[in-house]
Amino acid sequence: MRVVVAVDRSDPTFKLVYAVTRLYTPAELTLVHAVDHGLARYSAMGPTGRGMAPEELRPLLDSGHKLLEQAAKSVPPELNLVVKQVCELGNAARVIINTAQMEAADLIVTGSRELSSEEREFTVGSVSHRIASHAPCSTLVVKHMPEQIRRVLVAINGIDDAAQIQRWLLANPFHDPVEMTVLHVVPTLEAYRKDSALAHHDRFHENLHEDSVSWGQKLVDNVAAKLSDTPAHAPAGRCYKAHGQVFSGDPPEVIVKESAQQDLVIVGSHGFLSAVRFIYGSVAQKVLYRVAVPVLVIG
């Protein structure tokens, strides 16, 4: 697995490096730091390396290189990894995504900070959310890293992202065995319950809802069975103990509520860039904002 880790000054303990080495054993590890300071004054330059940087920004780039060297020392020596370091001038999300593309990364690991409602009104979201929206690969967004990953919530929306997530989990097993809850949420049509004029449609929607729940249960049971059905000689991390669960309600609300009992949430990136998401926000986007545990967006 080729992994790109975004290194930031707000993470003095380098928890992101710790996070990825707790979950996986990377074959290649690239640490990247972006110097995004006053770039608007040099809009014609775009992302660039140290050699082409304006003189006044070179101290920041030098400081960034030192930060990367410190982060590299936090990589467990027993992994015997050759750690690459990238420090560039430019928009943080763009530098990280470009690095992931250049390195043909399988996973980007980035931190996240909470945005207030006022900040959300005046910004297009945090760096981590922009990375998750546009990354060419899967993204692990970490706010707080538990000591151990034992319970994992796998939220699936439909057949396509269920297959995508399933392939990732089987191809990239965790270090340690985990217990997985494969979750599907059937949206409820509350408007029909509140509007008396639509009361005669209740039975129709109840039948539709029952069919959706039945379909969802078959979907999660099928995914859980395939995740649990691993060969006896499989690595320990691939020993998933999975079960399926279906809820009714608002998908982001249900996922956030259920995540309180979990160490990691996994969602698919399907539809992240659709026009509907741009207007209403995707489930994955809302989960990233509100879930406290790490979120792995499979892309």
User: Can you list the domains of the chain with their CATH numbers?
Assistant: 2-142 (3.40.50.620), 151-298 (3.40.50.620)
What residue spans of the chain are helical by DSSP H?
A: 15-23, 58-73, 92-102, 117-122, 127-134, 159-171, 190-194, 202-228, 251-259, 275-280, 283-290
pLDDT of residue 66: 94
pLDDT of residue 155: 95
Q: How far is it, in rounded angstroms, from Cα 142 to Cα 288?
A: 9
pLDDT of residue 280: 38
pLDDT of residue 68: 94
pLDDT of residue 102: 95
Nearest C-alpha neighbor of 176 from the set 237, 240, 239, 235: 237
Q: Are 57 and 98 in contact (CB under 8 A)?
A: no
Nearest C-alpha neighbor of 45 from the set 114, 94, 96, 115: 94
Specify whether the backbone of 63 is left (phi greater than 0), alpha (psi in -120 to 50) or beta. Answer: alpha
Nearest C-alpha neighbor of 15 from the set 3, 5, 1: 5
pTM of the full structure: 0.82
pLDDT tens, per residue, the chain with 299 residues: 999 999 988 776 688 888 888 888 888 999 999 987 654 344 444 444 444 556 777 888 899 999 999 999 988 888 888 899 999 988 899 999 999 999 999 999 998 865 444 333 333 357 888 898 889 999 999 988 888 889 999 999 889 989 999 999 988 888 888 999 999 999 876 544 555 555 555 666 677 778 889 999 999 999 999 998 765 445 554 568 999 999 998 899 999 999 999 999 999 876 444 433 433 357 888 888 889 999 999 98
Q: Are 56 and 182 in contact (CB under 8 A)?
A: no
pLDDT of residue 104: 95
